[in-house]
Structure 1
Amino acid sequence: MDADTGLPVVGMIGAGQLARMTHQAVIPLGMSLRVLAASADDGAARVAADVEVGDHTDLGALRSFAADCDVVTFDHEHVPQEHIAALIADGATVHPGPDALRYAQDKRAMREEIARLGLPSPRWTPISTEADLAEFGVPCVVKTTRGGYDGKGVFVIEDVSDAAELLASGVDLIAEELVRLRRELAVSIARTPSGSTVVYPVVETVQSGGICTEVIAPAPNASPALIERARHIATTIADAVGVTGVMTVELFETADGLLVNELAMRPHNSGHWTIEGAITSQFEQHVRAILDYPLGSVETTAPVTVMANVLGGDSPIPPDERLRRLMSHDPAAKVHLYGKAERPGRKIGHVTVRGDTIDNAFARARTAAAILRDGIDTTTKEAT
């Protein structure tokens, strides 16, 4: 416990934007997030008071960090399983634990668990040779089982020869069918160590180049049956794997129903809208859950909330001027910049807009992201 406040010390391994927003969420609770940063320039390291610099693959650094925490959690899913187990053996409290986290770290293990639970997912198989891929059939999607995110480690294969170099690399791979989908959805659930859960509204995610560009909350034109099915899938997985904290299930909506795409055992990009759009943000909820506190309300604060990611560009207009232009253009838009150096395509922030209609909120959010990236409204090509 913190000697001054009498409140728990929450440590997060990783110091990216998720840690940065989690830190912001715990300040009203009287806490200051402790972070293990790869660099003092990481987004959360720029704002948190209690920062230790170290490598998440270095067991010594992890042990040193965890020794001063009441509970340890994660900004990402890349900490080795054996290191997490060693921390727990040392007496550290770690959420989510390794048994749950492995399903976000290993896509093959995740697919096997989804099948064991009788839940729907794309047709898939492990592959290691061109013959395996040919037998599965192309076109298809080939994924590395570990380390992929934001489209990395995911390859659309049109011909078996397209995967020759990838197969020769020796990386563990799975092949999945190329799903004919109507749209992509996501649902987030928070679960405490004692088993209490809350489920956020189902949202629609808009993807471009493997990167989420917008999120619409709640998902438009979602039937009660679809919503209930998504909630059932999330609850079934969370209870079965014993996740603690926030877990997000990414879903494909197809003509035949929902398919499980991916799992994330942490706050997730599809839940950033909750900062303004829900009574309890996913970041506060994650901390409540890992501390086994009562969970907060997931009621929405507006009929529609749209979050748009801000990707780095190559605008000659300085960031300060772009921010000023957005504030002048749409004073109600809420900006979250992550303290990152800008480069084309890099996720450097997001903007959230609340409204009464989907069309209006979506257009405003997309315009706001364009202004933050380029300094002009590239959706209409007009200067602001």
Structure 2
Amino acid sequence: MDQRKTTRPVVAVIGGGQLARMMQESAIALGVDLRALVESRDGATGQVTVNSIEGTPSDDALVDALVDGADVLTFEHEHIPQSLLTRLAPHIPIEPSAASLLFAQNKLAMRQRLTELGIPCPQWARVTSVDDVRAFGDRVGWPIIVKTPTGGYDGHGVRVVDDASDVAQWLSERSELLAEEKVPFTSEVAALLARSPSGEIRSWPVATTEQVDGVCSVVTAPASGMSDQVVNSAQDIGERIARELGVTGVLAVEMFVVGQGDNQHVLVNELAMRPHNTGHWTIDGAVTSQFEQHLRAVLDLPLGDTAALRPGASTVMVNLLGSSLPDPARALPAALAAGGPRARIHLYGKEVRPGRKLGHVTVIDEDAAAARAAAQRAVACLRGE
């Protein structure tokens, strides 16, 4: 007898950071068993997930134990070897699939496929030599952006380049890089949606995002200062990418907003096929959070309502990036007082390091500026200011 049919659903997840930690909260409410492969038992997820295995995806025996008897395998980061996914695919549903996940793992593959689909992106090129970089920069204008195709996140693996010689060392270490035009964007937005294996799609309101040193700092939902045309275009692009690439689970599409007035439009910057920092606002601000929705989607359950809990209000999420305190939780009295009764604090239980994502604060208010100020006051206390 197949034990999976007689017990509660089991979702196996690779990754032990804050995203799997927040999946655990939703799994508890749904009665789903979350089984996580974590880097450390005292990490963000290991602290709160009873059914966790310590190790890395490179250990075949541990991965086999992780998926044994599970209903589905999913991820909280993209750094999963394609060879592992190929080996597991005959034995367990993988959501998103290896074929889809490739486009979140490899920026060159993503740019190539989106361009083939006619989805608007910055001008780009695959470069394998300093001469290639120089030719591209001369064509689109300096400076340019150069990225490693794989492995980069939160600003890592990205450089602003003024001269082709700036990436000579990088090219000596890698066979190819991605070169992109430096887009003169006026703001950034994120389209967040979920798609189930059955093809059901639900999108949350498009959000405005702000970055500091390449790391998400502030998210405002719904997007502020955007025309209906831009918001609708961003949502349509996100849903089209999900369908065309066969994405399952949560998909975040980060985009640049370029131009003014009637000429304003979006260009796709990055893809993430998992719950994403730009969607943390949904925990407190939407009927269904991105973490519950991801579990529903990968299990092919009916998807939940993505509407804002308070129509007409703004939900502002501010990240806690680093702290001078040994543990930000020690500042909870001050932070809760500074943020006011509407502030919702989420701490990830992570070891403090400069610039590290340690938590976030969300505030909902009819006045977006007031919500932002309250969240920022609470974050300042958590930083030890």
Aligned equivalent of 1:143, options 129, 143, 147: 147
Aligned equivalent of 2:206, options 173, 192, 202: 202
Q: Aligned partner of 1:365: which letter?
A: A
Residue in 1 aligned with 2:96?
96
**Is the aligned partner of 1:276 residue 2:284?**
yes
Residue in 2 aligned with 1:45?
46
Question: Over residues 104-124 of structure 1, what are the superposed CA-to-partner deviations in whole Å (9 max), with x where a residue is unaligned?
Answer: 000000000110110100000
Q: Aligned partner of 2:268: which letter?
A: V
Q: Aligned partner of 2:75: which letter?
A: F
Question: Over residues 150-173 of structure 1, what are the superposed CA-to-partner deviations in whole Å (9 max), with x where a residue is unaligned?
Answer: 000011111222212212222531
Instruction: Say which SS state the counterpart of residue 345 (structure 2) adopts.
Output: strand
| Cα distance in 2, alignment partners of residues 285 and 2 from structure 1 | 25
Structure 1 residues 3 and 162: CA distance shift in structure 2, 3 A: closer
Q: Is the 2:329–2:382 contact (alpha carbons within 8 Å) kept by the matching residues of 1? A: no
**Is the aligned partner of 1:243 residue 2:247?**
yes
Contiguous gaps of at least 5 residues in structure 1: 377-384
Residue in 1 aligned with 2:171?
167
Q: Aligned partner of 1:152: which letter?
A: H
Aligned equivalent of 2:219, options 215, 229, 234: 215
| Cα distance in 2, alignment partners of residues 120 and 198 from structure 1 | 22
**Is the aligned partner of 1:26 residue 2:27?**
yes
1:126 to partner: Cα distance: 0.8
Aligned length: 373
| Cα distance in 2, alignment partners of residues 162 and 258 from structure 1 | 29
Residue in 2 aligned with 1:130?
130
Q: Is the 2:3–2:69 contact (alpha carbons within 8 Å) kept by the matching residues of 1? A: no
Residue in 2 aligned with 1:80?
81
Q: Aligned partner of 2:196: which letter?
A: T
Aligned equivalent of 1:348, options 352, 358, 376: 358
**Is the aligned partner of 1:312 residue 2:297?**
no
Q: Aligned partner of 2:364: which letter?
A: R
Aligned equivalent of 1:184, options 188, 191, 196: 188
1:87 to partner: Cα distance: 0.6
Q: Aligned partner of 1:340: which letter?
A: K
| Cα distance in 2, alignment partners of residues 211 and 221 from structure 1 | 21
Q: Is the 1:33–1:50 contact (alpha carbons within 8 Å) kept by the matching residues of 2? A: yes
1:196 to partner: Cα distance: 0.5
Mapping for residues 347-366 of structure 1, pairs under 5 Å:
347-366=357-376
1:98 to partner: Cα distance: 0.4
Question: Over residues 281-315 of structure 1, what are the superposed CA-to-partner deviations in whole Å (9 max), with x where a residue is unaligned?
Answer: 00000000111111000110121100011011334
TM-score between both structures, scaled by the size of structure 1: 0.94
Residue in 2 aligned with 1:285?
293
Instruction: Say which SS state the counterpart of residue 77 (structure 1) adopts.
Output: coil
Residue in 2 aligned with 1:382?
none
1:321 to partner: Cα distance: 3.4
Q: Aligned partner of 1:208: which letter?
A: V
Instruction: Say which SS state the counterpart of residue 227 (structure 1) adopts.
Output: helix
**Is the aligned partner of 1:326 residue 2:330?**
no
1:3 to partner: Cα distance: 8.0
Q: Aligned partner of 1:94: which letter?
A: I
1:28 to partner: Cα distance: 1.0
Structure 1 residues 341 and 2: CA distance shift in structure 2, 3 A: farther
Instruction: Say which SS state the counterpart of residue 33 (structure 1) adopts.
Output: strand
| Cα distance in 1, alignment partners of residues 4 and 117 from structure 2 | 45
| Cα distance in 2, alignment partners of residues 5 and 270 from structure 1 | 37
1:353 to partner: Cα distance: 0.6
Greater displacement, 193-202 / 26-35:
26-35
* Root-mean-square deviation (Å): 1.6
| Cα distance in 2, alignment partners of residues 5 and 60 from structure 1 | 25
Q: Is the 1:32–1:48 contact (alpha carbons within 8 Å) kept by the matching residues of 2? A: no
1:272 to partner: Cα distance: 0.2
| Cα distance in 1, alignment partners of residues 253 and 108 from structure 2 | 16
Q: Is the 2:38–2:46 contact (alpha carbons within 8 Å) kept by the matching residues of 1? A: yes
Mapping for residues 102-117 of structure 1, pairs under 5 Å:
102-117=102-117
Question: Over residues 231-279 of structure 1, what are the superposed CA-to-partner deviations in whole Å (9 max), with x where a residue is unaligned?
Answer: 1101111001111100010000001411000100000000000000000
Identical aligned pairs, as a percentage? 45
Mapping for residues 223-242 of structure 1, pairs under 5 Å:
223-242=227-246
Q: Is the 1:5–1:30 contact (alpha carbons within 8 Å) kept by the matching residues of 2? A: no
Residue in 2 aligned with 1:379?
none
Greater displacement, 18-27 / 3-12:
3-12
| Cα distance in 2, alignment partners of residues 2 and 214 from structure 1 | 44
